Each structure stands twice: as structure tokens, then as C-alpha cells.
Chains A and B, each alone.
Chain A
Amino acid sequence: NAGVTQTPKFRILKIGQSMTLQCAQDMNHNYMYWYRQDPGMGLKLIYYSVGAGITDKGEVPNGYNVSRSTTEDFPLRLELAAPSQTSVYFCASSYPQDTSYNEQFFGPGTRLTVL
């Protein structure tokens, strides 16, 4: 299994541009998450999904959108990028039905800079 994969690894955007961060998992996990990690800080939850067609806001959803049309994919859309969105973005997945409940498996991250 490839686990959780994210593309791209790095991206530089200009203010006002839009982009989609891709996340895919091949573990048949039904829960997927998007986080951002600012330098020297912990992770903050942006959006999460408990299954295809179901998404919910996390702690910091403003400026982002998500969709979940399949179990495998959970893209994160940035509209009108702002410098405050400069961060490292991590996608994660989990399978709460097993005994480790919501233990999350993380992708390698996307480092985004908005100039």
C-alpha cells in the first residue's frame, strides 16, 4: 500500500490565485482529514470527512473548500490565496471501526507559500 499520498510537495502561489491540494489513500479508510501546520506550531484541523459525500468544518475552515466524491480522494481547494495561508498542509486518514479508533495516518505534506 502507498498509504496516504499528497501532491504537490511544494507550491508557490501569488496572492489571489487558486489551487487544489490533492490527497489520496489506498487503505480503504472512511475518515479523512486536512490540517495545516504553521512554523513551530501544532496542527489545526481545516476540514474532515467521515465518508464519501460527507464533509464537516474543523477549527480553521475559512478560505478553504473540500469535496469527497470517493472513499479514496479528499482534495482541498484554496480560493483567492492569501499570505496567511502560507503553511504546511497535511492530509490524514483513519478507520475508526478498528480497535485503535481514530489513530490517524498522515501523508508527507504539501509546503505552500503565498507571495
Chain B
Amino acid sequence: ELKVEQNPLFLSMQEGKNYTIYCNYSTTSDRLYWYRQDPGKSLESLFVLLSNGAVKQEGRLMASLDTKARLSTLHITAAVHDLSATYFCAVDIDNDMRFGAGTRLTVKP
């Protein structure tokens, strides 16, 4: 059974600091997605990673994929308050999408 595990589940950071969120999955896949969800809102696509070694960057966020280790990371650089949200990774196995439990990020001044 495909399992997707994120850690940490809760992350409180100070502005200006760096941190990494990890997403491990249990079955071979080369399609991984990162989404952001603000409280009470829907999900917004951040990154699509479709091959081993893929790296995508947008602003202060950078995502990478290592299919051999079954690991994706979401790195936050110099965090700002606007990045406070819940971040989900999702793995696609033949259209069966499995989401991690999410990492609730709070960035404090």
C-alpha cells in the first residue's frame, strides 16, 4: 500500500530562517506534487516534479525529488510571514493520488 509521510507535521519558524520539509513515500513513483493550503481555503499547486533529480524553485521555496530514495524536500529560504500555511506533498501512482498529512508552517516575526 502506498504511504506518504511528511515531517515535521508542525513547524514554527522565525522570519529570516531556513528550514526543510521532508516527504517520504513507500512505492516507486516519479511524479510528486507540492501544494499549499491557507486556513479555510482550497489547495494551490506549488510544484510539479516529474523525474529523478528534478528541482524547481519559486521565490523562497525550492522543491527537489530523489526517486531512488523515495524522498522529496521542500526547502524554505529566509522565511517570511506570508509563507505561513499548510504544505502538502502528493504522490501519483497511476492516477491514484496519495497525500501526506501536511506540514503546518507558522512564520513568526
State whether A102 and B97 are in contact (beta carbons under 8 Å apart), knowing that A42-B102, A43-B88 are contacts in the complex. Answer: yes
Total contacts A to B, CB within 8 angstroms?
A: 59
Report the count of interface residues on B (CB-CB < 8 A).
Answer: 21
Among the 9-residue stretches A20-28, A66-74, A75-83, A105-113, the one with 4 or more Cβ atoms under 8 Å from chain B is: A105-113
**At the interface, yes or no: B31 with Cβ under 8 Å from chain A?**
yes
In the complex, which residues of chain B have a beta carbon less than 8 angstroms from the beta carbon of A43?
Answer: 43, 88, 90, 97, 99
**At the interface, yes or no: B96 with Cβ under 8 Å from chain A?**
yes
Consensus secondary structure, chain B interface:
strand
Tell whether, in the assembled complex, residue B43 and residue A101 are in contact, meaning their CB atoms are under 8 Å apart: no
Tell whether, in the assembled complex, residue B101 and residue A41 are in contact, meaning their CB atoms are under 8 Å apart: yes
Tell whether, in the assembled complex, residue A103 and residue B99 are in contact, meaning their CB atoms are under 8 Å apart: no
Inter-chain CA distance A102–B99, complex, in Å, is 13
State whether A31 and B95 are in contact (beta carbons under 8 Å apart), knowing that A42-B100, A104-B33 are contacts in the complex. Answer: yes
Tell whether, in the assembled complex, residue A103 and residue B98 are in contact, meaning their CB atoms are under 8 Å apart: no
Inter-chain CA distance A109–B38, complex, in Å, is 13
Select the residue from B43, B100, B101 with max chain A CB neighbours within 10 A.
B43
